Amino acid sequence: MHKSKILWTLLVLSSPVFAHEEDEHKPVLSTESKSASVSPATLAGLKETYMRSIEPIFEAKCYDCHSDKTHYPWYYKIPGVKQYIDSDIAEAREHLDLSKGFPFVSKHEIDHDLEDIGDEVGEGEMPPKAYTFIHRDTKLSPEERQTILNWVKTSRDAIKTDAMPK
């Protein structure tokens, strides 16, 4: 009886690790291949704006899950919680890794990354409510949210203009 309880507990606690096992996984695109469709001048402008206006927000609100600069909470070492957090972080970084700056490490082109960020931030999905409930300082202020959305729009417009035939 005791062994079966332990086995069931381990099974339940390890389930997040296998949650997305069947998802189709595309390879991560290199920064060079992502940047190839954008002129160096446009890319430099986007990077400069990102570093000045957006990166400080992302560092404070997004890096714990979307970078290799995670600050683990005090409860991280609790068995089961550690596996759940590690799984969430791995999934977050698989979708979008902010560690190396702009353009981000991901499986998509720059414009697609920007569209995803705009959708998630615009719909209030990022940072997730379950995370901001515990970590209140990671909730985006209305000003931060608008700054990100404005940056996404102007960046996507610049990429589209840059891609137009001259």
Residue 27 falls inside a structural domain: no
Residue 44 falls inside a structural domain: yes
CA distance 8 to 94: 28
Residue 52 falls inside a structural domain: yes
Q: End-to-end alpha-carbon separation of the chain, Å? A: 74
Domain count, the chain: 1
- 């954008």: which residue's tokens? 38
CB of 127 within 8 A of CB of 139? Answer: yes
What would the pLDDT profile of 5-53 be if each residue is shown by its tens digit? 555 555 444 544 444 444 455 666 555 556 667 899 999 999 999 999 9
Least confident of 28-42, 51-65, 108-122, 135-149: 28-42
CB of 104 within 8 A of CB of 113? Answer: yes
Report the chain's mean pLDDT, rounded to a whole number: 85
Residue 57 falls inside a structural domain: yes
Residue 15 falls inside a structural domain: no
Q: Is residue 71 pLDDT above 90, yes or no?
A: yes
- Residue 102, phi then psi, degrees to nearest 5: -100, 135
Range 67-88 average pLDDT:
93
Residue 40 falls inside a structural domain: yes
Q: Tell me, what's the pLDDT at 3?
A: 60
Burial class (CB in 10 A: 0-12, 13-18, 19+), 22: exposed
CB of 121 within 8 A of CB of 140? Answer: yes
Q: Quote the domain boundaries for residue 84.
A: 34-163
Residue 21 falls inside a structural domain: no
Residue 58 falls inside a structural domain: yes
